[in-house]
Structure 1
Amino acid sequence: MKPFEQIVAVHGATVLRVCRAVVGPSDADDAWSETFLAALRAYPALDVEANVEAWLVTIAHRKAIDLIRARGRAPIPLETLPESISTIGLPEKSDPDLWPALAALPPKQRQAVAYHYLTGLPHRDIADILGGTTDAARRAAADGIKALRLRLAAAPPPERPTPELTLRPAPVAEGTSP
C-alpha cells in the first residue's frame, strides 16, 4: 500500500472539487478535512485492490452531506424574537389531516414513511433500523405513501368560512336614471 501522504497528494484536488460541488466553496475545506480524517482512520483496512479515488469520493460525498445536515440543524440567530409561538415541530398545527392519516398506518409503513420521506434516510438504512431487507423497507414506504394518498384523497376538504358578500348598488352617473 502507498503511504497515506501520497494518497492525499494524488487525490486531494479531486476530493476538494467534490466537496466544493456539494457544499460550496465556503464549507469545502471543512468537508475536505473531515474526508481525509475519516479516510486516514479507515485506510489500513482498505483492500489493496480497491479503487482509492472512488473510495475517497464516496467518503467526501458523505462528509459533505453530513456537513449540510449539521448546518441545517444549527440555530439561526435573530435580532428580535418572533411574536407568536412557532408551529415547527407541532405537525397537528400545520396539517391537521396528515397526522391522523399517518397515525392510522401500520407501524412498519408509518416508520418507513417517516424515516425515508421526513428524515431522508435511504432504504438500506431503514431496513437496518426496522430489521428487514432493503426491498421490504422500500415496499413499506411505497405502500404507506399510497395509503396516505388514498386516505387524504377520500377525506372531505377542510371547511373554510365563506366570506359575506355585501351588495351595493352601482354608482349612477348624474343625469341618468337607474
Structure 2
Amino acid sequence: MPRSDATERGPLPPFERLVADHGPTVLRVCRALLGFTDADDAWSETFLAALRAYPDLRPGSNIEAWLVTIAHRKAIDVHRLRGRTPVPTETVPERPSTAGLPGSGDDELWSAVAALPFTQRAALVYHYVGGLPYAEIGAILGNSTDAARRAAADGRESLRLYYHAETGSTT
C-alpha cells in the first residue's frame, strides 16, 4: 500500500508545542529588534504567519531558525511602516525620537544597540539573543555566513568603542 506524504515525513508536532518551546526566543528577538512597544504585535504576527505555513514545513527543518526568519521579516515590515508613518506633533523635536526602539529607556546597552545599523543589530541579536549560528543568520539576512559574521563583528566593535568613549576606559 503506498504511503502518503504526511506518513513518509512523520507527523509534525502540535503547533502549540512550537509556541511553548520557541515563543520566548522569538519574543526576545522581537524585543531586541523592535523594542517593547512593537514586540508583542510582531511576535503575534510571526506565529500567525507560522501557523499558516506550518503544514508545508519540510521535515528536518530547524524550527527555531524558521521562526526567527519569520520574526525578522515581521521586524522589517515594522521598520518600513515606521519610516512611512508620520507622527503629528505640536512642535518639531530638537533631536530624533527613539520611541519604540530598543534603548528608548534608561538602559545604556540597549541605547547603544539601537544606534547600530539594522544588519549589525540583527546579526548580534540573532546570534547572542536567538542563539543562531552565523550560517543561519546569513540566510535570514540574505547574506553569506561570512557577511553575517562580519556584521556581528562590526556591531561588537561599535559597542566596544561606545563603551570606551562613555567610560573613558582604555582597556
For Structure 1 versus Structure 2, the TM-score category normalised by the shorter chain is: 0.3 to 0.5
Which structure has the larger Rg over C-alpha atoms?
A: 1
* Higher helix residue share: 2
TM-score (norm 2): 0.45
Pick 1 or 2: higher relative contact order, CA cutoff 8 A, min separation 6.
Answer: 2
